[in-house]
Amino acid sequence: MNLYGQTLENLEKYFESIGEKKFKATQVFEWIYQKREEKIENFSNIKKEIRTQLEQDFKMDIPKIIKREIDIDVEKFLFNLSDDEKIETVLMRHNYGLSVCVSSQVGCNMGCKFCESGRLKKVRNLETYEMVGQILAIEKEIKERISSVVIMGIGEPLDNYENVIDFIKIINHPKGIAIGSRHITLSTCGIIPKIKLLSEFPLQINLAISLHAPNDELRSKIMPINKAYPLKEVIEAVKEYIKKTNRRVTIEYILLKNVNDSIAHAHELATLLRGMNVYVNLIPYNETNHIEFKKSEKKSIDAFYQTLQKEKINVTVRREFGSKISAACGQLRSKEV
* Catalytic residue positions, numbered: 88, 329
Shortest approach of ligand SAH to residue 78 CB, angstroms?
17
Shortest approach of ligand SAH to residue 212 CB, angstroms?
6
Whichever of 12 and 88 has its CB closer to ligand SAH, that residue is 88
What dihedral angle (degrees, nearest 10) is formed by the CA atoms of 14, 163, 60, 143? -130
d(CA 36, CA 307): 49
Shortest approach of ligand SAH to residue 287 CB, angstroms?
7
Shortest approach of ligand SAH to residue 222 CB, angstroms?
9
Shortest approach of ligand SAH to residue 151 CB, angstroms?
7
**Binding stretches for ligand SAH (CB under 6 A):** 110, 112, 114-116, 152, 156, 187-189, 210, 252, 254, 283, 285-286, 288, 328-329
Whichever of 146 and 152 has its CB closer to ligand SAH, that residue is 152
44 Cβ contact partners less than 8 Å away, ≥ 6 residues apart: none
